[in-house]
Structure 1
Amino acid sequence: MNFIRTFIMFFTKNFVLKAATVLAATVLAACSSNTNAVKKTTESSVDPAQFGAKYKGRSYSTSLFSSANVDNYSGVVNQGDFLTQLSNVRAYSTGISSTYYDNYNKISQWVLAGADVNQLANYGIRPQVMSGEDGYQNVLLTGYYSPVIHARYSAQGKYQHPIYAMPSQKRFTRSQIYAGALEGKGLELAYSDSMLDNFLLGVQGSGYVDFGNGNLNYFAYAGQNGYKYQAVGRLLVEDGEIPKEKMSIQAIRDWAERNPSRLQSLLERNPSYVFFKNDPAGKVKGSAGVPLVPLASVASDRSIVPSGSVLLVEIPQIDNEGNWTGEHRLHLMVALDVGGAVKGNHFDLYQGIGDKAGHISGLLKHYGRVWVLR
């Protein structure tokens, strides 16, 4: 994965319904290059319909099945961005482009003609709707983004938190690194003003660093120290610090502001640590090596939806508090990334760069249908 994704996914894969209930808890995990595990849970307390799930008029299925039509007629809203994403695929991945050559051509023709979902069959496109983890086509959709970290090249003033390049000896725990295990080795790429922001950069797997000169430097994922990831959001839920239904990145930030003296000890409970490299190309890329376009690219479980697959995703619209507005909008997207917590009928949608994208990413834990276009 090249980045990651948000804190949400550790709990969410298995908070997906069994018939009509779900554990609505988003807990720190990362997509892309990060390898975060998913904790199995059977708890449930929140009606999934509050998060966009629907059941009325739907038949139960346990696998992909062909659909005669796509019964959402609201119209595709990102035709230009999707074509840009396809252009990036063709420019950066000969393998994917050749594998999906015919599929991309017929889908492009359909998009250029207006992307009318009623006309898919006329272009030889077969939509296959995913079952969702509940069997009623409710697919879990979470979000990830590229954060922007404020930093300086050397330690000064409030900028005291180092971001490290990959060391030759990487088997140090997070607590050992915080205690200075890597100091004096010339590995410091930058010094930020926030230990939590550095941690979130690791969760996302990559992001941008603002050195205060008006330019953004892209820090790409370089590797990890080999220790198992522990979701700090889950730890806060288990400790009774944050209710599971309230878990989000913002909730963790709020907790950190209230408990500054406890933040480091919380983060040290996750021994996993991510290292970075300065990528002069400055492009956010997924695991397929293709630059990503916001809301036109997605991380998937490659064993079910291989890289390069084209998806029609019914994205639930949410407000600034994470409440579903009652609306879904259709986006065309390409599977170009992976994530340790992205398994089965669960997709992580790339939201873009910066705080706004991060805010939405931290709240998205909702449901919509997904059609694979073939």
Structure 2
Amino acid sequence: MIRTLRRAIGAACLMGAAMSATGAKSETTYSLLNFGQLDGWAADDHAAALNVFVQTCRDFDDPDWLSICAVAKQQDPESARAFFELLFRPVLIEDGQDALFTGYFEPELDGSRTRSSRYRYPIYKMPPEARNAGQWLPRRDILTSGVMEGRGLEIAWVDDPVELFFLQIQGSGRVRLPDGSTVRVGYGGSNGHNYRSIGQELVRRGVYSVHQVSAQVIKNWVRRNPSDGRELLMHNPTYVFFREVRKVASSAGPLGAMNRSVTTLRSLAVDPKFTPLGAPVWLEKDGAEKMRRLMVAQDTGSAIKGAQRADIFYGTGDEAGQAAGRLRDPGRMVVLLPIQRAYALLPEDI
């Protein structure tokens, strides 16, 4: 996921594409709901959501949110539901696009601090000249021109270029070293090129149909076709650089866009154009395994665009990766906003 710290969006920003004072609808609409309209609301573990909210709300710089955060810190677990119902109102934000929920996770790769015959694929830090370049070299040039070599930019070396490619898509992960210790890496910047999906490219070539494509299917195809697989990875010109993360406990999740650890099945990556980072979000995910729970918008992603688009954090490791990779479900998400902000979204003639 793309890690860029962003401020919470105020009512003025949220109102940008809302209904006009004359009642004419524009592209984005806002519907004020009540908690009784949230499917499964009463059955959720609101205390778990409150705990995640408290971990991130301290980073708000808006007085309305800071006041709510102060109250949140004083709540007992049994009062969590009452806290949300008293100080927030549910707002359904829609932009005309169908809802889509996918999953992400923190990968674990096998690697080493030094290069060897097994560990020969580097995880790079961002070179200084790329930081302010806007759009720097594409993936192919970074990997084949020698521009990165001999500069001490390697954080670690891993044994699988395919897993390294998908580590870049996730934006953070862990590297298991031979001695049993781990190195955690987080997003450190990119080369500025637009992401191009290799899954969509396989569909375009007729290799797979849309419903067949998943992360695991792509990995298997690349490994079965080494030469064509390497070339397929070059189809995506985006290249993600990393930084070593030392101050996060190994038991905690990776850092999200608010520079706080994300929590398994309680953290969402959202489009901050529509959903304020740090806001509680009620998720109603349909599909084979329905999910009804209160989550917190703690992250963003380059592929997460739209009012009803979100990525659910599934945890760390292979099992989490398999669960996240299968997810592509409909439903709806409802943002919980402070009362005054929620009512400010209504047209003036109501």
Matched, 1:299 2:269: yes
Tell me the amino acid that sits aligned with residue 73 of structure 1: G
Deviations 1:280-308 (A, max 9, x none): 11351211222211121111121211112
Matched, 1:350 2:313: yes
Tell me the amino acid that sits aligned with residue 311 of structure 2: D
Could you say if the C-alpha distance between residues 177 and 103 of structure 1 is closer, same or farther in structure 2, counting changes exceeding 3 Å? Answer: closer
Question: Per-residue deviation at 1:195?
Answer: 0.5
Question: Size of the alignment, in residue pairs?
Answer: 303
Q: Distance in 2 between matches of 1:247 and 1:80?
A: 37
Could you say if the C-alpha distance between residues 342 and 253 of structure 1 is closer, same or farther in structure 2, counting changes exceeding 3 Å? Answer: same
Matched, 1:340 2:302: yes
Per the alignment, residue 53 of structure 2 pairs with: 86
Question: Per-residue deviation at 1:259?
Answer: 1.1
Aligned positions of 1:181-196 closer than 5 A:
181-196=147-162
Q: Which has the larger radius of gyration?
A: 2
Per the alignment, residue 259 of structure 2 pairs with: 289
Per the alignment, residue 214 of structure 2 pairs with: 248
Matched, 1:263 2:263: no
Could you say if the C-alpha distance between residues 168 and 202 of structure 1 is closer, same or farther in structure 2, counting changes exceeding 3 Å? Answer: same
Could you say if the C-alpha distance between residues 106 and 208 of structure 1 is closer, same or farther in structure 2, counting changes exceeding 3 Å? Answer: closer
Aligned positions of 1:74-113 closer than 5 A:
75-90=42-57, 93-95=59-61, 99-102=65-68, 105=71, 112-113=78-79
Contact 1:70 1:127 in 2 (8 A): no
Could you say if the C-alpha distance between residues 255 and 247 of structure 1 is closer, same or farther in structure 2, counting changes exceeding 3 Å? Answer: same
Q: Which region of structure 1 is more displaced relative to structure 2, 230-239 or 62-71?
A: 62-71
Q: Distance in 2 between matches of 1:365 and 1:101?
A: 36
Tell me the amino acid that sits aligned with residue 293 of structure 1: T
Tell me the amino acid that sits aligned with residue 332 of structure 2: R
Query: Helix, strand or coil: the match of 1:64?
Result: strand
Aligned positions of 1:34-53 closer than 5 A:
none
Which ranges of structure 2 fall in alignment gaps of 5 or more residues? Answer: 5-26, 131-135, 338-350
Q: CA RMSD in A?
A: 2.8
Aligned positions of 1:144-293 closer than 5 A:
144-170=104-130, 171-179=136-144, 180-282=146-248, 284-293=254-263
Question: Per-residue deviation at 1:249?
Answer: 0.4
Per the alignment, residue 20 of structure 1 pairs with: none
Could you say if the C-alpha distance between residues 165 and 81 of structure 1 is closer, same or farther in structure 2, counting changes exceeding 3 Å? Answer: same
Query: Helix, strand or coil: the match of 1:291?
Result: coil
Among 314, 334, 346, the residue aligned to 1:371: 334
Could you say if the C-alpha distance between residues 279 and 304 of structure 1 is closer, same or farther in structure 2, counting changes exceeding 3 Å? Answer: same
Query: Helix, strand or coil: the match of 2:61?
Result: helix
Tell me the amino acid that sits aligned with residue 158 of structure 1: R
Tell me the amino acid that sits aligned with residue 330 of structure 2: Y
Deviations 1:216-260 (A, max 9, x none): 211111111233322111111111122111111011012123212
Contact 1:32 1:299 in 2 (8 A): no
Question: Per-residue deviation at 1:369?
Answer: 2.3
Contact 2:47 2:80 in 1 (8 A): no
Q: Distance in 2 between matches of 1:178 and 1:120?
A: 49
Contact 1:96 1:307 in 2 (8 A): no
Which ranges of structure 1 fall in alignment gaps of 5 or more residues? Answer: 5-30, 34-60, 317-323
Q: Distance in 2 between matches of 1:207 and 1:114?
A: 32
Deviations 1:168-187 (A, max 9, x none): 23333322232233111111
Q: Distance in 1 between matches of 2:115 and 2:217?
A: 29
Could you say if the C-alpha distance between residues 165 and 106 of structure 1 is closer, same or farther in structure 2, counting changes exceeding 3 Å? Answer: closer
Could you say if the C-alpha distance between residues 226 and 103 of structure 1 is closer, same or farther in structure 2, counting changes exceeding 3 Å? Answer: closer
Matched, 1:362 2:299: no
Q: Distance in 2 between matches of 1:264 and 1:191?
A: 18
Tell me the amino acid that sits aligned with residue 50 of structure 2: L
TM norm structure 1: 0.73
